[in-house]
Amino acid sequence: MQVVLKESQAQEPFSFSFISAAGQTVVKSENYKAKKSAVNGIESVKKNCTNDARYEMKEAKNGKFYFNVKASNGQIVGTSTMFATAADRDSAIAELKSDGPGAAVEEKGA
């Protein structure tokens, strides 16, 4: 697993994604104005992704499954992509728990 820290031309240009070994996005962030805030978000996901209590399981109106990773203060620090089944979602969570904390960060510029 790796983390991609992206910078775009947007008003809030910084965001990040945790990418699985298979190349699929597992978790993505909101957009941040400052790079330091995005880096703090990455560290928060790494710190909280091993704790079951930090996961919020969700089902979208279209029947797809996703999850949020929350910080200890309850703030959402990452949202997963949509999964066809709850089992696929649970598999992504298992990979994030095992590989997320040690994931290397790669920066991609605007």
List, run by run, the mean pLDDT of 10-residue segments along the chain (110 residues): 94 95 94 96 97 97 97 95 96 97 90
pLDDT at 10: 87
d(CA 103, CA 35): 18
Q: Per-residue DSSP letters for 59-87?
A: E-TTS-EEEEEE-TTS-EEEEE--BSSHH
Provide the whole-model pTM.
Answer: 0.93
**List of domains in the chain:** 2-108 (2.30.29.80)
CA 40/CA 83 separation, integer angstroms:
26
Q: 4 with 37: CB under 8 angstroms?
A: no
pLDDT of residue 83: 97
